Amino acid sequence: MAMRVKPSPPSHGLYYQELGQFDEMFLKALVSTGGKNVQAACDWLFSHLDDPFLDDPLPREYVLYLRPSGPLLQQLTNFWKQSRLTCGKNKAHNIFPHITLCQFFMCADEKVEALTDSLQTTLAKWKGRIPMPLPLELYNSSNFIGLFVEEQMAEVLKSFAADFATEAASKADVHVEPHKKQLHVTMAYHFHSSHLPVLEKLAKSIDVAAGCDWLALLLSRDIRFANHETLQVMYPYVPQNDDELELLQGDFIFMSPVEQSTASEGWVYGTSLGTGLSGLLPENYVSRADESDTWVVHGSHSFLNCASPFTSGSPVGGLLFDGQLNDSVLDTLMDPSSLTGLCPPMQVSRAAAHSSSSKMRLFVCRHGERMDVVFGKHWVTQCFSSKGGYIRSNLNMPCSLPNRSGGPRDYEKDCPITVFGSTQARLVGEALLESHTTIDFLYCSPSLRCIQTAQHILQGLQQEAKTKIRVEPGLFEWTKWVSGTCLPAWIPPAELVAANLSVDTTYRPHIPVSKLTVSESYDTYISRSFQVTQEILTECKSLGNTVLIVAHASSLEACTRQMQGLSPQNSKDFVQVVRKIPYLGFCACEEMGEIGVWQLVDPPILPLTHGPNHSFNWREMLMQD
């Protein structure tokens, strides 16, 4: 495609029909940004100069939804968050709370203004004819929970949708198919049957008669990515090869499972929303997002007064992509305070305002960078003399290592962490300190790499003298991954203390070393991890609020999943999850009180990301002939 010059923006008061001096691509840019303004369209066009589909005349897909606002929206949003934290994501989470009024339909770019006019005309005709709040009734089955509109009122809304379809056909020459099924707000869908009691309890707490206005939202999406998974970029990435995709933090990526044949393990193939370009990207640089996060708003109109809190052309997007639907921004624009006199603001209950600091919290953290991974499995023979003396040959190797009763060979199965691993751990401790987090109890796998990591976390937290490490063999990783026919010869607590490690020598493990077996089954490992986590939390209850477990990559999954009331994954999926957890990977769980289960929550610290640093020998590289 030939390089295009960024067009100069005309005055902001121009409408679609006044854009004769611009080509179809500019019209496409204007529609893709929700008609916000001409400058936003220019910015979109400039960022898509290399988009191979920029000239594609394929129109966007549109849909008409009703979205609640005010107190009802607040309650539904809270249900969304709590159900997601408690039971994981289900299909309802892909789209914000809504009632579907019509099926998705196509509209040519040049007809979009006529389409938005059709919605405004229909709303003007129906002003005052739809009473608020809508009568809703809770319904649930084994895999579905929703709020259904009372039948008589549902017929009224369907008549409104039919009038919109007639207007759209007349003015925009599009075919709109009104929704024929029962009108409802889907709250949970396609969830595990074991989650039903928790979801039911959360759903029954919603006051369906709460004050509410309903907003008619006209939305669009790129039809090419309708069946793709939506990902959001968490960290920027600069391509190292021609087939890789540049990542900008906050951008969205569309990923289709059928396109992953070219991607190696740890990588995915996707297309950027921000640029339209496609390529390979590191999987751990993105996280799952909701389908509606990338949709564009073309109009939002109140049913109470038929005046739009923001109309077509108003900004709804996040900081990076103007015009994209962003729930946090929508919630601000639809805040109950903007409906003063229409919907009384919801009073915040004391339970909701209660500080979470009184709840028990469980942190699980993986150990830091390990010596044998960085320097190879033969590092022991290279770093110890024939007399057993330790020799440091790289700045990333520790200055010294504890003496072991079984000699240096014991390090082959129980390796230490590197200098950088110590730095990683201290950074985590310092971050916890900055977040005003105090660790009441620290439990640790018997592996030296875990104990050293725990020690440096305590140093960063400035709790080295206050908190002692409780060495718990039950927290050791799946023994199937141990090479050979015996478990590692771990350093006893007394010898760890002699090596200046803050270990509690009075602690009696819940699962002693004698109970561990080599090559245990997956079910045994998962059961062991769940058991020891439960017993640790029971032991600490009423004595402190925050427990930190420092163990292995597998521990983040094995020690938290069943605590949330979830069934264990199969071993294959478990391994795939574990392989993606980095050094000092950190997760947090919080007790949910009355519901009786724990939920994953945002950790109090930021994630820790670092890149590889290959070995460098200046003689070999800089003194070549």
Which positions are annotated as active-site residues?
A: 366-367, 552
Q: What count of other Cβ atoms lies within 10 Å of the Cβ of residue 13?
A: 8
What is the end-to-end Cα distance of the chain in Å, rounded? 45
What are the tokens at 400? 């010294």
Closest CA to 401 of 491, 505, 503, 502: 491
| d(C-alpha 335, C-alpha 356), whole Å | 24
**CA nearest neighbour of 230 among 325, 94, 326, 322:** 94
CA distance 475 to 552: 8
CA dihedral 14, 16, 17, 21 (to 10 degrees): 80
* Helix or strand run (H / E) with residue 472: none
Question: How far apart are the C-alpha atoms of 234 and 256, rounded to whole Å?
Answer: 19
Q: Please list the helix, strand and coil fractions of the chain in percent, rounded to the nearest 5, in that order.
A: 35, 20, 45
Dihedral sign computed on CA atoms, order 417, 418, 420, 426: positive
Name 111's Cβ contacts closer than 8 Å, sequence gap at least 6. Answer: 172, 173, 174
| Residues 346 and 338 sit within 8 Å (Cβ to Cβ) | no
Cβ atoms of 39 and 8 closer than 8 Å: no
Q: Which of 181, 189, 184 is nearest to 145 (CA)?
A: 189
Determine the Cα–Cα distance for residues 550 and 498; give it in Å rounded to an integer.
21
For Cα atoms 328, 329, 333, give the angle at the middle one, nearest 5 degrees. Answer: 120
**503 contacts 469 by C-beta, under 8 angstroms:** yes
* Cβ atoms 7, 26 nearer than 8 A: yes
For residue 582, which of 285, 377, 177 has the smallest C-alpha distance? 285
Which residues are CB-neighbours of 330 under 8 A, at least 6 positions away? 67, 96, 316
Q: How many residues does the chain have?
A: 625
Strand partners, 136: 149
Taking Cα atoms as reference points, which of 380, 368, 371 lies closest to residue 427? 368
Report which of 21, 187, 160 is spatially closest to residue 98, judged by C-alpha positions.
187
